[in-house]
Amino acid sequence: MRTMNTHYIYRMQRFILVAAMLVALVSCQRRPLEYFYKPEAKIILKVDWSDFPEKPTGMTVFLFKDGEAGQAFSTSDVDQTELNISAGRYKLFVMNQSMTEFGGITFKDMYSYENAEAVISKVASKWYAIMKGVIASQEGDELPGVGSQPEDLGIAIAEEFTISEDEVKEFNYQYAKWRKGKGKQDGDGEAADDAPVDKDAPALRTISATAHNVVSRLHVKIYFHNIPTLYSVRTSMEGLADSYMITQKTTSSRTVAQLMVKWDIHVTSADGVDGYVETTIHTFALPDGVTSVAQRDPRANIFTVQALHKDLKTITEEVYSVGDKFAISFPAKIRLQMDLEVGPIILPYSPGGDTGGFISYVEDWDDVIDVPIPI
């Protein structure tokens, strides 16, 4: 009986010894993983700017994790950048430059994925106020705002993606092996949570997104008869989109008026009497995502033209309802192109002269006009 107990005890001792050696061996093999473990995985974000007018010098990434507030960071690495993120479900979008680098656009709710919005900045216009019959009751009263011209805005929206806990663990395991293969040693005193992931280390995944310009162009031609008498032109287009909803990929229902004050002049007739002026402005185009004007209410867009005669006293005004008159196309590198032609506007006849005195841009007609603009 004692012999059996001794034999049994001997076998148990051997089993315990072997088990202890296995535990020690496994612990030794996993130590690099545990030492370098961070609850994050490295993701590469690639952005294609080929459908944008020009590659930007910087970009801003807006990252949204389910249940958490959005976060943003700017970088000069516009072709690709890396994200070190924890397990979870993510959405993200990218814009060219940073929010502070735009003068014609104000950004709203950018840390809310669903509500992120680019809004045209507003400026006061004395000319527009007078034209609309608005006169400040006293000095300092605010004049009605008109829309600035928005700069080209490139937006790249990535597909939603999920990083699992198992993927984070696998990334850390492979990262530890990569470090060991590169001859990197433990024991440098750096805590795992503070140690940055090596920039050259392989990533868990690559996310791709293509940037598209969400800003459109409005090109306008105004035909004139007796064009040599024309001194300058100012116009306003009412009913244009006030903003663009970034992740909804459409314009809002709000509207704004935009001015056109810079023009090129062209003579089309041999006698020099007929011709046109033309200009192009940046805009968010039409509200509510409208991209076709068939059967649209003409009054949705009111186009007002004021032409100043060379006598600096006579103003010819025409008002057009053009909501259904735009020709819309979809060229590369902009959201859409709107073209509009109106006229001819008959100017007062003045013998002699040519278009050499035409002023393509006047900051404020009050600087040159001899009489108040009629209301």
pLDDT mean over 312-319: 92
Amino acid 187: pLDDT? 45
| Contact (CB, 8 A) for 209 and 229 | no
| Contact (CB, 8 A) for 81 and 73 | no
Domain boundaries, the chain: 41-102+153-212, 215-367
First-last CA distance in the chain: 121
Amino acid 181: pLDDT? 82
| Contact (CB, 8 A) for 245 and 287 | no
d(CA 217, CA 238): 15
pLDDT tens digits along 247-277: 999 999 999 999 998 999 999 999 989 999 9
SS3 of residue 167 by DSSP: helix
Confidence band of 140 (pLDDT split at 50, 70, 90)? very low
| Contact (CB, 8 A) for 45 and 83 | yes
Q: Per mean pLDDT, which range of 52-56, 69-73, 186-190, 228-232 is the poorest?
A: 186-190
Amino acid 216: pLDDT? 98
DSSP state of 347: P
pLDDT tens digits along 323-353: 999 999 999 999 999 999 999 999 988 765 5
Query: Around Cβ 196, how many Cβ atoms within 10 Å?
Result: 9
Vertex 55: Cα angle to 49 and 57 (nearest 5): 125
Identify the bridge partners of residue 240 per DSSP, sorted by sequence position: 256
- Give burial (CB, 10 Å; 0-12/13-18/19+) of 21: exposed
- Which of 244, 264, 265, 262 minimizes the C-alpha distance to 254? 244
Backbone dihedral angles phi then psi of residue 85, each to the nearest 5 degrees: -130, 155
Q: Indicate if the pLDDT at residue 131 is higher than 50.
A: yes
Residue 122 is which amino acid?
K
Residue 367 is which amino acid?
D
Amino acid 373: pLDDT? 36
pLDDT tens digits along 198-212: 778 889 999 999 999
| Contact (CB, 8 A) for 212 and 247 | no
Confidence band of 179 (pLDDT split at 50, 70, 90)? confident
- Which of 165, 193, 197, 167 minimizes the C-alpha distance to 182? 197
Mark out the alpha helices in 163-300 (DSSP H runs).
165-181
The CATH topology of domain 41-102+153-212 is Immunoglobulin-like (2.60.40)
